Structure 1
Amino acid sequence: VREFIFGARINISEGSCPERIVTITGPTDAIFKAFSMIALKFEEDINASMTNSTVTSKPPVTLRLVVPASQCGSLIGKGGSKIKEIRESTGAQVQVAGDMLPNSTERAVTISGTPDAIIQCVKQICVVMLESPPKGATIPYRPKPASAPIIFAGGQAFTIQGQYAIPHPDLTKLHQLAMQHPPFTPLGQTTPGFPGLDATTPTSSHELTIPNDLIGCIIGRQGSKINEIRQMSGAQIKIANATEGSAERQVTITGSPANISLAQYLINASQSTSPPI
């Protein structure tokens, strides 16, 4: 679905998921006008819902933005200074989620308030994002269909809808990335996962060995990186304590074959792109 309003292009993701992503592209003035129309429409819906309601206090208009995690630090500012400034100058409530959205490197930024406060807030957020571009590759958040089984077969990912297997291009890309970037050699395992099994496959465990000088890249500051990998892959990951005299650490990954392979790929990518803590 593509529409043009005030020179901005609006793209709405497919409607088979509980959530849908609205992407607005164009000059900043056009983007602000489009956001203003959206906020006003939300306010109309709130007013309509209160017509026959016994609720006396009017709830605020709420938008949830999807922002690359690498830009959220600039949005928050040192010691929370920037986000505090935005709250005080616009009157809007702004919250940046601590965790990334599933299977992505993006975080949710929730804005609530009056339509005018929201549009002023969006303006300031856009300024910050323009001044601080994303760092590294961004894996976009894509809502999943509600409880749709997934299978991996023939190098592709499929979601099961009724009696049909529907190709899922985003999961296929993750599958191909995992296969193209072999992880650290697992103990007793030479071939990464992703067999033709659905999401209900019983969990299994795989063990990896990682050099001590790279373990900091995997863990991240105060465990931030390993928590991101857990969130994105859906796998459970445990890192063994250091053993005296050993130059390696043992990492145990538990989950479905798909979870394990994605976790292995993300661990491998972390050690090659992140500086040690």
Structure 2
Amino acid sequence: MESKVSEGGLNVTLTIRLLMHGKEVGSIIGKKGETVKKMREESGARINISEGNCPERIVTITGPTDAIFKAFAMIAYKFEEDIVNCMSNSPATSKPPVTLRLVVPASQCGSLIGKGGSKIKEIRESTGAQVQVAGDMLPNSTERAVTISGTPDAIIQCVKQICVVMLESPPKGATIPYRPKPASTPVIFAGGQAYTIQGQYAIPHPDLTKLHQLAMQQTPFPPLGQTNPAFPGEKLPLHSSEEAQNLMGQSSGLDASPPASTHELTIPNDLIGCIIGRQGTKINEIRQMSGAQIKIANATEGSSERQITITGTPANISLAQYLINARLTSEVTGMGAL
């Protein structure tokens, strides 16, 4: 290895761990793993994504500091591209910042914060990025989440400075790495597409928006990971305009067959926004994907919770519950497991 000095100090091998939720992982992996393959080839860094059906995944980037910075730049610009694409379908006018979460051994966080917060303040001021070090360690580990937000360029400069601190102050003692808990269903949603997790890759799953059509036809719920013969290319007939409305989650009535049941759950008021989404986009997406009717009760005075009523077949209800939980998980990541 060449011992040239780069912007991040000596060009030594370093490992940085990132915490990402399902949608971000899907974006990094890309179709058939093409995006992550390109990132590995162009940066020269090793990029590994933790296995498992977890709402959160660990992305490990290893290599010389130069290669790490290139990989981070590619990830930051990919996330910005995702934000721009989302905004083209949204009435929002202000562009949210790109956000990355590093996982750093707690023993190194003191050096990163500095005496009286001097180091973290210096990093914020010199890079223009927002940097927050979590007060608590991640569950069952000795690591903390360090959240960086800003423009891709600010994030890249910030990561360079954090790498220098980590090289100057190695971790003390043994580090117990954070391992995200598995989710009950190995499915992630990215860009309206459903993926099942197989090894390190997200494999596109047949369009889950058709599940409720199958339910209306009294077809059994297809096992996840298996392709139902009625899936790709075969259009199932809709019996009425009411069913067509149900398809979009806009109807107040359910088709009489199959038998419908009801499930109720409560959600804290301060998290209801992430379920509803801007102008109801998220709740409509969940209705459309699950085929269930979902009603959110109005806020009641003195209550900190809102009631959600889900009506549909057991398959519809279980899928709607999973999608709601996935939204909540992505909203509260960094605040501990649900």
The TM-score with structure 1 as length reference comes to 0.52
Return the match for 1:50 from 81, 87, 112: 87
* 1:41 alignment counterpart: 78
CA shift for structure 1 position 52: 1.6
Structure-2 separation of matches of 1:101 and 1:133: 19
- Aligned letter for 1:17? C
Q: Which shifted more, 126-135 or 11-20? A: 11-20
CA RMSD of aligned residues (A): 1.7
What does 1:24-35 align with in structure 2 at a 5 Å threshold? Answer: 24-35=61-72
Structure-1 separation of matches of 2:170 and 2:66: 19
Please tell me whether residue 92 in structure 1 is matched to residue 140 in structure 2: no
Structure 2 unaligned runs (5+)?
1-32, 186-222, 224-338
* 1:128 alignment counterpart: 165
Contact 2:77–2:152 (8 Å) recurs in 1: yes
CA shift for structure 1 position 146: 2.0
What SS class does the counterpart of residue 162 from structure 2 fall into?
helix
Contact 2:53–2:184 (8 Å) recurs in 1: no
Structure-2 separation of matches of 1:15 and 1:136: 28
What SS class does the counterpart of residue 46 from structure 1 fall into?
helix
Return the match for 2:154 from 117, 121, 127: 117
Q: Deviations over 1:79-99 (max 9, x none)?
A: 000000000000000000000
Q: Deviations over 1:147-193 (max 9, x none)?
A: 59xxxxxxxxxxxxx9xxxxxxxxxxxxxxxxxxxxxxxxxxxxxxx
Return the match for 1:138 from 167, 172, 175: 175
Q: How many residues align?
A: 149
- Aligned letter for 1:115? P
Structure 1 unaligned runs (5+)?
149-161, 163-277
The TM-score with structure 2 as length reference comes to 0.43
- Aligned letter for 2:178? Y
CA shift for structure 1 position 14: 1.3
CA shift for structure 1 position 7: 1.8
What SS class does the counterpart of residue 102 from structure 2 fall into?
strand
State the identity as a percent. 89
Structure-1 separation of matches of 2:120 and 2:77: 24
Structure-1 separation of matches of 2:44 and 2:79: 21
What SS class does the counterpart of residue 148 from structure 2 fall into?
strand
What SS class does the counterpart of residue 10 from structure 1 fall into?
strand
